[in-house]
Structure 1
Amino acid sequence: MARLKRPTAPERVRLAVIADPHVSTRAEGTSKLFEHSLDHFEAAIDDIASRDVDAVLSPGDLTKDGEVWNADAVADALNALDVPVYAVPGNHDVPKDGDDHDAISVDTFADRFGPGSYPFHEEVGGLDVLGLNSAGNGDHLVDTHDGHVDADQREWLAGKLQRTDDPLIVVHHNLAAVTDQLRRHRDRVVEDMAIPPTMRETEAFVDVLANGDAALVLTGHFHLPLTGVDRGVREIATPTTCSFPQSYLLVNITPRGTDVRLVPIADQDGLELAHDRRARDSTTARGLTSIGAARLASMPLAVEDRA
């Protein structure tokens, strides 16, 4: 998917990045293929377990909507791994006003799927990993699926960027350059396509990233393999496991730079089914599917000169 100059690490660090599985054990249908979501997630976990990774990162949306039973299913699947898992919550992992069930709290999510709190700083090998919560909590963003890295987290991040070399940042929602790719596709190809919820105060967040010379931000949310650059900050958006193009990312970080590979977790029949279901689900789903297919056909999406 990409060959990047940065980040680098003193010795090789291999990470698996799994996003937006939307695990659901009691729902069916939609382009997310809820009835297959746990199978897809477990297939990704099984494959990751064979890849000799140092840790698993997730930009979130592990569950359909933060249901206790779905969080339990995610936790059971992750028990197959013997490496650390560091997840940040997605907008579907945190309580929302419209929920008709009791959703797990952000604190519970952090305890079960993250290092215990947000934001976080963890070291994997010689690599610093910084995780941020853009999805909100019980008091913030409960009435929207928009994202926001608030002022307190931005201040925390600015301090961390001053004291770390080439950290990797993990957050659910997307930066402007990637989001603008969806808007261009809408304007040129699918006029009635809606844009999924976006990040608020993106410029303020990018200010911190750019001023701190952040090299790479891993996101999820759009369910697509995408990349963009905002003021020198590279974003890699992680595809979903639940629907087309069912896959996760394998990220190798070495003294020479970073390689990002897309790993499919469905066979040919599964990919065809997911493409067909998503393309017929809605105008927006059709637009997102056509972007995803185009990006798969265009790989690698970014090749930076390391000479």
Structure 2
Amino acid sequence: MASPLDRDAVPSGSLMARLNRPRTDRSTRLAVIADPHLSTRQEGTSKLFHDTERHVANAVADIARRDVDATVCVGDITKDGERWNFDRFDELVADLDAPFYSIPGNHDVPKRGYDHDNLPVSEFADRYAPDGQSFPFHVEVGGVDLLGLNTAGSEEFLYDSHAGRVTDDQLAWLDETLPETETPVVLAHHNLPSMSEQVHEHRDLAEPDMEIPPEMENPEEFVDLLNAHDAPLVFTGHLHLPSAVREGSVRELMAPTTCSFPQGYLLVDVGPDGTDVRFVPVADFEGMVDGFRERATDSVTARGLTGMAAVRLAHFPLVDER
């Protein structure tokens, strides 16, 4: 494990955001990964299925030397919820010393039309939620309160859709739980409205034929509740690119995917002065070029999202509040 001196050193990677909040007197480091889409039996596509094991392994190896307090995934661990892909992912993250937690993404939960045996959401919770909890969950990590939601669905809701929803019971749970936390950080797979609006704006400006990825069905209720309790930060995934927005007093940071361009994860330091978030690549220069080429030539939608990612990488840091 790294020494406290090593922990205070500037880590490799690019500064994505420097935030005034959240803050905590107890310095806490998190690794946030998103959308690994691990696939052990398929190759190709812009998700680089043939490289997903290597990218996850690279992320795990890098995180393991960072002295993190926990690693969290904001969903889409697997290609489409296959048990064998979850099993392989668990083998890879077993090399992490710190706790690992995950919420489900829309490709992790059962959906109509899959021709394989999906992992039920209850078993997903057994593997990746804190001990004895399901979704939503609350766990204290260092000086941070992690609140994990299931926006992706289950056998009971969103079975016919890849859209997102924060169910009424989860909204009620948040309403009760947020006041009990000192430093809440919310985890959700799907994005807040302002993040989705970035996709609409890019389509209108640059890619009129691109499709809009599935969005959250009831984001206004969710945003209103977060603002009512002055929740400072939400981490999301889903769109496979790094980005940042603000909804009232709430900041959303979207983590990039490990599977496709720009392959990486987020290293998050929360301390007395605020929160610093760095983008750490999990592919070398050649791998990044391959990822860019495959995604930019896959479809109009993939090309549009790749363009959005490239623009945001060129404008790092996306947020600097200090």
Q: Same fold (TM over 0.5)?
A: yes
TM-score normalized by the length of structure 1: 0.98
Task: Find the counterpart in structure 2 of residue 183 from structure 1.
Answer: 200
State the one-letter code of the partner of 1:145. H
1:19 to 4, 26, 34: 34
Structure 1 residues 150-207: Cα deviation after superposition (integer angstroms, max 9, x where no partner): 1110010011111112300001000011110010000011000111100111000101
Gaps of 5+ in 1: none
The reply on whether 1:37 has 2:72 as its aligned counterpart is no
Which of 97, 100, 104 is the matching residue for 1:82?
Answer: 97
Q: Contact conserved, 2:37 with 2:77, CA < 8 A, in 1?
A: yes
Matched, 1:114 2:114: no
Structure 2 unaligned segments of length 5 or more: list them: 1-15
Query: Which residue, out of 240, 243, 263, partners 2:280?
Result: 263
Q: CA deviation digits over 1:229-257, x for unaligned, max 9? A: 11221000000000000000000000110
User: Are 1:138 and 2:191 an aligned pair?
Assistant: no
CA shift for structure 1 position 208: 0.7
Conservation of the 8 A alpha-carbon contact between 2:199 and 2:212: yes
The 5 A counterparts of 1:47-66 are 47-66=62-81
The answer on 1:124 being equivalent to 2:141 is: yes
- Are 1:6 and 2:24 counterparts? no
Q: Which amino acid aligns with 1:42?
A: A
- The Cα of 1:274 is off from its aligned counterpart by 0.4
Instruction: Report the counterpart of residue 266 of structure 2 in structure 1.
Output: 249
Is structure 2 residue 215 aligned with structure 1 residue 159?
A: no
Asked whether the equivalents of residues 35 and 77 of structure 2 are also in contact (C-alpha less than 8 Å), the reply is: yes
Identity score, percent: 54
Per-residue CA deviations over 1:79-102 (Å, capped at 9, x if unaligned) read: 000111110000000000110101
Amino acid in structure 2 at the alignment position of 1:123: E
**In 2, Cα distance between equivalents of 1:169 and 1:86:** 13
**Counterparts in 2 of 1:193-232, with a 5 A limit?**
193-232=210-249
Once residues 158 and 261 of structure 1 are traced to their aligned partners in structure 2, the CA distance between those partners, rounded to angstroms, is 30
Query: What is the TM-score when the length of structure 2 is the normalising length?
Result: 0.94
How many aligned positions are there? 305
Query: Residue type matched to 1:280 in 2?
Result: T
Off by >2 Å, runs of 4+ in structure 1: none
Distance 1:164 1:139 in 2: 29
Match of 2:13 in 1: none
How far apart are the structure 1 equivalents of 2:140 and 2:49? 34
Pairwise CA distance, 1:4 = 0.3
Q: Deviation digits for residues 115-164 of structure 1, max 9, x if unmatched?
A: 24110000011211111100111111010000000111001001111111
The question of whether the paired residues in 1 share the 8 Å contact of 2:143 and 2:183 is answered with no
Q: CA RMSD in A?
A: 0.7
